[in-house]
Every structure is written in C-alpha cells, then in structure tokens.
Amino acid sequence: MGSDEKYWLGFDLGGTKMMATVFDAGFKILGTHRTKTKGHEGAKEVLDRITETIKEAIDDAHIKTQHLDGIGVGCPGPLDLDRGIILEAPNLGWKNVALKDTLEKTFGCATVIANDVDSGTYGEYRFGAGQKARCVVGVFPGTGIGGACIYEGKIFRGKTGSCMEIGHMRVQSGGRVCGCGQRGCLETVASRLAISAEAAAAAYRGEAPHLLEMAGTDLSSIKSGVLAKAVAADPVVERIVRNAAQHLGGAIASVVNLLAPDVVVLGGGLVEAMSDLFLNEVRKTVDNRAMKSFTKSLKVVAAQLGDNATVMGAAALAAEAGDGKR
C-alpha cells in the first residue's frame, strides 16, 4: 500500500449499536466492525468500546493506525461541532463528552463529528439516492423521525449545528404528547414507534391476531421486520401503516413547499422493511398536497446505502475537512 494513498474512517454511534468502517480514497470499503453500544454501562465503557471498534475496523482493513488520515463520527446530538463535543446523549448516558479530542489523541488523526442524520443524508447525497442533487431532504422514521437537508453540497445547518427537526413539525392541534414536551408533533403519529404503539393496541384489542402471535403487545418486540410481516397478515396493521405514511407525506409536502428539493430520500428500518407500501403512500400524498411547481420534477425515493449511509457520510465529511494531520 503506497504512502500516498489516503484512508478515512467513518463511525456510526447509535443508541443500540455502533459501527466503524475504513474507506480508501475512492470510498471503497476496506474493513468494518460493529458491536452493541450498551449505553447503560456508562460513558467510560462506551468510549472504550468506540476505541476498540475503530481498532477492529482498522485491523479488518489490513492497514495500520498511523495510515489513517481522518475520522468522521455520526452521533446523536445536541453537539458542539466546532469543539467536537457531544453535549448530551441520554441514550449513551453522556454529557459533555469531548469525542473529537479523545479520538484525535488515541488515533493521531483529525476527527470531525456530525449529527447522525446529517451524516446519513450526506452519505446518500455523495454515494446513494441523492447524488448530484442541488437540494436533498432526508427523512428517517425510527424511534423518532430524523431529518436533514443537503443544499448545494453542504449540510444545511441553520444558525449553527444541526436542524431539520421534521419529526417536531406540528401536524395535529391537540394531538398526542410528544417526547419534546409539545403535542401533535409528526413523530407522535408517523414514527416507527408510533406505528408500533398503534399496532400493539390493535393487537391487544384482538384486531391483529397475527401480530399478537408473532410479537405480543410489547413495543420492544414490534420492530420494523415484525410490522412488515403483520402488514401482510393483518389488514388493520396495513391501515395503520398507510395512515402514518399519509401523515408523513403531508408533513413532507409542507417541507417541499418550503425547500423545493430535487430529491426526498426516505430511509431507516421501517422504510427498508416495507418500502413499496410506505413510499407509494408518501409519494401519493406529497403529489396531492404539495404545490405543482415543486412536485413536477421531485423524486421521492428509498435510501440506497442502508446501514452504510452514516459511516460513508461521516468518512466523506472527514475527507472534506482536510487531509488529517499527517
């Protein structure tokens, strides 16, 4: 391996799992490693596990640590991007963790951090479903609903940091209580978690017998894969998913009227598990609701990179931030 080759590492720090991937200068995957996050074990343990995971990925790529030119980390927020600090991440038990400094000391190369949804959408923009678009909006329904916008090649940041909190657009006055303290936010009706809760209630009422048999009524058992199977077996679950997708489409229509994107990329486990049903319903609603001048050349598409979106986006951000300190 020539010393003029560049190597970038992308890291995806999720609430349940973490993943490190090493890329060459052409963003070909050279090696990867993933493990459970286990946030409940505490901040120090998670930090150690991040370091270990990066080392494993470096080993897997058959390069040496000193060959690494930069690290990019997609992480939950809120973040201090300039200083590379995770200000707060309840899932990880973290407060004010200086991730950038820690990784730069350990691995001897420049490190950038970014919001995970920003990283994932940037990945789709650079390498996936949003390539060459002037304005890409990414929407990822999961426990909440993440959003991001890549505009003219850069993450849209508003005043500073990360924004595009599409999950907290209000879609129902007097609606359900949201984790953010408001009522009627989009994620109370259209997140994977909201769908799971509605489906669990249907199961409890005896209206979704297949779901009940597959997963019971515990939300922690009703994940995207189970929902996809239940959609095929229990008509009420299909109705619930369609209704949620329509809510999502309505909110996306408002975003389209504001930002006039070329492409809306929908991703995450829920979309992957039932992309036809979900995407068609969202597309139909956006077409019906948004202004014609904005929908006529709009594409609403599924993400292409799956779990690799965040590591690819984060690695690309690291590459752009410079050539590292070597």
Give residues 295-324 in contact with its own copies (rule: CB under 8 A): 297-298
CB 272 within 8 A of CB 306: yes
**Burial readout 134-157 (b: 16 or more C-beta within 10 A, e: otherwise):** ebbbbbbbbbbbbbbbbbeeebbb
If you write DSSP's letter for every residue of 117-165 in order, what string do you get? HHHHHHHHHHHSTTTT-SEEEEEEESSSEEEEEEETTEE--TTSS----
Are 139 and 191 in contact by the 8 Å Cβ rule? The answer is no
| Binding flags for its own copies, 230-269, as an x/- string (CB under 8 A) | --------------------x--xxx-xxxxxx-------
Both tokens assigned to 92:
């990880």
Sheet-wide strand order for 154-155? 154-155, 145-151, 135-141, 263-266, 299-302
CA distance 215 to 184: 27
Residue from the set 210, 287, 289, 321 that interacts with its own copies by CB under 8 A: 289
Q: Which of residues 204-233 bind its own copies (CB under 8 A)?
A: none
Site for its own copies in 142-161 (CB under 8 A): 147, 151, 156-161
Which of 1, 25, 232, 291 contacts its own copies by CB under 8 A?
291
Instruction: Using the minimum distance from each CB to its own copies, give the nearer residue, 78 or 235.
Output: 78
Q: Length of the chain, please?
A: 326
| 16 versus 131: smaller Cβ distance to its own copies | 131
For its own copies, the closer of residues 55 and 170 by Cβ is: 170
The answer to the question of residue 284 lying near its own copies (CB under 8 A) is: no
Cite the DSSP H helix spans in 70-109.
Answer: 99-107
Report the residue from 20, 30, 58, 164 that binds its own copies according to the rule CB under 8 A.
164
**Whole-number Cα distances in Å, 286 to 268, 277, 278, 280:** 19, 14, 12, 10
Q: Which stretch binds its own copies (CB under 8 A): 210-218, 220-228, 229-237, 288-296?
A: 288-296
Q: Smallest distance from the beta carbon of 89 to its own copies, in angstroms?
A: 14
Restricting to residues 122-141, which ones interact with its own copies according to CB under 8 A?
Answer: 133-135
Q: Which residues bind its own copies (CB under 8 A)?
A: 78, 133-135, 147, 151, 156-161, 163-166, 168-170, 172-173, 180, 182, 250, 253-255, 257-262, 289, 291, 293-294, 297-298
